[in-house]
Amino acid sequence: MAKVSPINAQAHANTKIKQDPGFAHSQGQHLIPIVVHEFAPASQDTPIVFIKDSETGRFMAMSLVGLKPGENVLVGEQWKGTYIPQVLRNYPLVVAKGKEEGQAILCLHQDSPLISETEGEALFDENGEQTQWCKKMAEQVISSVEQNQITQGYVQYLAEKQLIAPQTLNMNISGEQYSLNGLYVINEQALNDLADETLLEMKKLGYLMPTYAALLSQQRVHNLARIKTA
Amino acid sequence: MTRAINDVLIVGGGTAGWLSAAVLAKQLSGQQGINITLVESPNVPILGVGEGTWPNLRATLKKVGIDESEFMRECDATFKQGAEFINFAKTPESGKSDGYYHPLNTVFHSSYEFNLASYWLLDKDKRQQRYDLAVATQAHVCQSGLAPKKITTPAFAAVQEYSYHLNANKFADFLMRHCTQKLGVKHIKADVNKVNLDSSGYVESVETANAEYPKITADFFVDCSGGKAIIIEQAMDIGWRNINDVIFNDTAVAMQVPYQDPERPISSHTLVTAQEAGWIWDINLFNRRGVGHVYSSKYTSDDRAEALLREYIGPEAEGLAARKINMRLGYRDKFWHKNCVAIGMSAGFVEPLEASAIYLYDAAANMIADQFPRNFDNLAYVERKFNNNFKMRMERTIEFIKLHYCISQRRDSQYWIDNCDAKSIPENLLWRLEHWKTHPPTKYDFDFAWEPFNLDSYLYVLYGMHFQTDLSANASAFPHEKMATRMFSDIEKLSAKLTRELPSQRDLLKKVYEFGFSPV
């Protein structure tokens, strides 16, 4: 597990954060966690899938960025998608839960190659105050936490209504066979068979758009194949 | 026009009563005009010792719309993958025990398709390994104390077949809430003190001590009143067949033992240990064990039985109360008579050795719901079908339970000597055993689709008990050695994979209680 430590004015007085337009730190991840608010833009590039957390059995929403475990076809000198998931943009900043209920602490992935003393955006100014950039990032990271909770509720709802079903992804690209297990996708049939009152409930909850976005995004697997072979 | 059947009254609210109510209400409530009412005594506590179940309960809970994780949490339930029978085959020598598993699995080994038993019998090397461990991945999973699934496995789905250990009192209460809150069952708390029959002997109504419901009429009655058998025996006078000449155990002494170590491993099978005049069950729930000694009052005393139970439990038994339960073994001449059917102890009881009681309630309730007669003209046919079916189930259950005793090599007490006396063994079982001395059991030994114990179960018990089947004169009838060798090797590999990947029972339970299973 990557080490994270809370940021503070003393320890990080000279710390700067570099930008990496290629998001190389996500190399080796074929799944990138996303929040429901990102379904519309993310669905333009990649399939949106769900996986179960092996510790809790709960579903998580993911952008599928590779065709085999450990492969991310969007990483490059420049990110090869039109949309960059929030979790990548937040990196190396992250929020950890504090000891008190509801407390959130802004932390840093200590081992990140984006941390520098010479290049990039400073976290603190010469007076030991958080920079504008740092404040903006903090807001963004904290809002991701809230969006994560909303996403949890949404995904749980999909599971309860049995709107997601397991799907093995099989592809043959230039004679090579690819197979990915443990993925779940929106079940079109179940969605079509929904009772009127459930459909109305989903409309009121704002769940229809992301659900259809996720359904349509299944076609984007061809987009990944195209980028991979380009 | 013939009289319609619209109102169903269930008398008695233990596990049998509420399980019947749930199955009938779920399946029949969609049909116009059917109303299910359950009347139970506010004064008589339910027996509440049945803590072991079969996988059919899992299917029933799913069918009646119960959330598996909620059920498990509220009933302190744990996963059950079978039972381990210890010291049944041989008189235990000090410090040594002899045992075998009877796993629930037919997922990875079904003798119905390809019977490995013959190849195990013929292969001297393979016979060095116990039969259960040679043919069943689940025996290895049980031995390692692992759960039958993972937190990522959907609700009610299995990696290895499973049922539950549960707190029977909490289960009855949980079912009651599900029935009344979700399935529209009407619940009346009243002591039934009179049953009225009409001139043709059909039940017309019951009278109660509750002033609000002095008389409850219905078209169809389910007698779940336990040993009292208020309708089927007290009012209808249907006879009872004793089976004491075959199954000797008639008494139990039970204790609840809380876990002193909160991280104590939770067994995912029932431990069953033979004693000089009976056997001890050991069931691990989430928060405590249920431990009890089932024995024959003819062969031992209550004091001796309790002393053996305390000795088995050890220091943890100190200061804990023991509860004595008298068991009436046998079954009705008829379970269904006119417009009344008995389910539960009122219908019959063999003994708890293979935890068949709740299975029989569940099977009965499902069969009634599937064939529910909507008018009085339909009653006679279903009555006959039901009675034939359940007579067969009782007989086969008795035979299978007797098998655990009658092929033992134990001769350390009169109890075991008498249990192995041919005079106490049902004829059908004697006949089978004679045949199995030179042939392995096969699917052709099982006549009915509804046999409660299948071929796999017989094989586990026979060869777990070191039953001798001599195939030497017939070895050429089993030419598929290569296939058998491959299957043994597959089972070994799969067992290793499962024991590597499955979580411990306690670890999984903590997650189930906290997060729950997903429905997909």
pLDDT at A25: 93
Instruction: Return the closest-CA partner of residue B421 out of B410, B432, B486.
Output: B410
- The residue of chain A with its CA nearest to that of B513 is A56
- Residues from chain B that touch A183, judged by Cβ atoms under 8 A, are none
Contact A57 B152 (CB under 8 A): yes
CA distance B86 to A163: 47
The beta-strand segments (E) located in B114-212 are 163-165, 186-189, 192-197, 203-208
The domain segmentation of chain B, as residue ranges, is 7-76+164-244+329-396
Reported as a single tens digit per residue, the pLDDT across B126-156 is: 999 999 999 999 999 999 999 999 999 999 9
pLDDT at B447: 86
Instruction: Return the closest-CA partner of residue A112 out of A12, A13, A18.
Output: A18
Q: Is A194 on the interface with B (CB under 8 A)?
A: no
Please answer whether residues B390 and B346 qualify as being in contact, where contact means their C-beta atoms are separated by less than 8 angstroms. Answer: no
pLDDT at B1: 59
**Strand B215-217 relative to strand A176-186: parallel, antiparallel, unpaired?**
unpaired
Show contacts of B87-90: CB within 8 Å, 24+ apart: B87/B273, B87/B274, B87/B410, B88/B272, B88/B274, B88/B279, B88/B404, B88/B405, B88/B408, B88/B410, B88/B464, B88/B465, B89/B408, B89/B409, B89/B410, B89/B464, B89/B465, B89/B466, B90/B408, B90/B409, B90/B410, B90/B466
Please answer whether residues B299 and B349 qualify as being in contact, where contact means their C-beta atoms are separated by less than 8 angstroms. Answer: no
Radius of gyration of the CA atoms of chain A, in A: 19
Reported as a single tens digit per residue, the pLDDT across B3-22 is: 999 999 999 999 999 999 99
- The residue of chain B with its CA nearest to that of A52 is B152
Contact B519 A162 (CB under 8 A): yes
Contact A56 B150 (CB under 8 A): no
Q: Is A184 on the interface with B (CB under 8 A)?
A: yes
Beta bridge partners of B78: B165
Reported as a single tens digit per residue, the pLDDT across B313-354 is: 999 999 999 999 999 999 999 999 999 999 999 999 999 998
Q: Which residue has the higher pLDDT, A177 or B160?
A: B160
Contact A58 B518 (CB under 8 A): yes
Radius of gyration of the CA atoms of chain B, in A: 23
Reported as a single tens digit per residue, the pLDDT across B414-428 is: 999 999 999 999 999
Range of the domain at A54: 4-229
CATH class, B7-76+164-244+329-396 region:
alpha beta
Contacts of B59 (CB under 8 A, 6+ apart): B156
The CA–CA distances, whole Å, from A82 to A32, A47, A65, B77, B505 equal: 15, 14, 13, 50, 46
Reported as a single tens digit per residue, the pLDDT across B185-207 is: 999 999 999 999 999 999 999 99
Contacts of A199 (CB under 8 A, 6+ apart): A208
Reported as a single tens digit per residue, the pLDDT across B105-115 is: 864 556 677 88
pLDDT at B398: 97
pLDDT at B31: 67
Whether the predicted pLDDT of A195 surpasses 90: yes
The reply to whether the predicted model has a pTM over 0.80 is yes
Min CA distance, B149 vs chain A (Å)?
11
pLDDT at B106: 65
Please answer whether residues B185 and B365 qualify as being in contact, where contact means their C-beta atoms are separated by less than 8 angstroms. Answer: no
Mean pLDDT (chain B, rounded): 94
pLDDT at A176: 82
Contact B511 A57 (CB under 8 A): yes
Mean pLDDT (chain A, rounded): 92
Place of tokens 């008189």: B91
* SS3 readout for B404-466: HHHCCCCCCCHHHHHHCCHHHCCHHHHHHHHHHCCCCCCHHHCCCCCCCCCHHHHHHHHHHCC
Mean pLDDT of A117-138: 91
> Phi-psi bin for A23: left (phi > 0), alpha (psi -120 to 50), beta?
left
Please answer whether residues B189 and B40 qualify as being in contact, where contact means their C-beta atoms are separated by less than 8 angstroms. Answer: yes
Reported as a single tens digit per residue, the pLDDT across A77-122 is: 999 999 999 999 999 998 888 777 777 888 999 889 999 999 999 9
In this prediction, residue B116 has a pLDDT band, given cuts at 50, 70 and 90, of very high
Contacts of B322 (CB under 8 A, 6+ apart): B253, B254, B255, B306, B309, B310
Query: Alpha helix (H) ranges present in B337-413?
Result: 356-370, 379-406
> Phi-psi bin for A175: left (phi > 0), alpha (psi -120 to 50), beta?
left
Reported as a single tens digit per residue, the pLDDT across B66-106 is: 999 999 999 999 999 999 999 999 999 887 889 999 999 86
DSSP A42-108: HTTTS-EEEEE-TTT--EEEEEE--SSTT--TT-SSS-SSS---HHHHHTTEEEEE-SSTT-EEEEE
Q: Is A183 on the interface with B (CB under 8 A)?
A: no
**Strand B82-86 relative to strand B270-275: parallel, antiparallel, unpaired?**
parallel
If you count them, how many residues does chain A have? 230
For residue B196, count other CB atoms closer than 10 A to its CB: 13
The SS3 of residue B519 is coil
The token pair that represents B259 in the structure block? 């876990």
Total of domains in chain A? 1
Chain B residues within 8 A (CB-CB) of chain A?
150-153, 511, 514-520
pLDDT at B246: 98
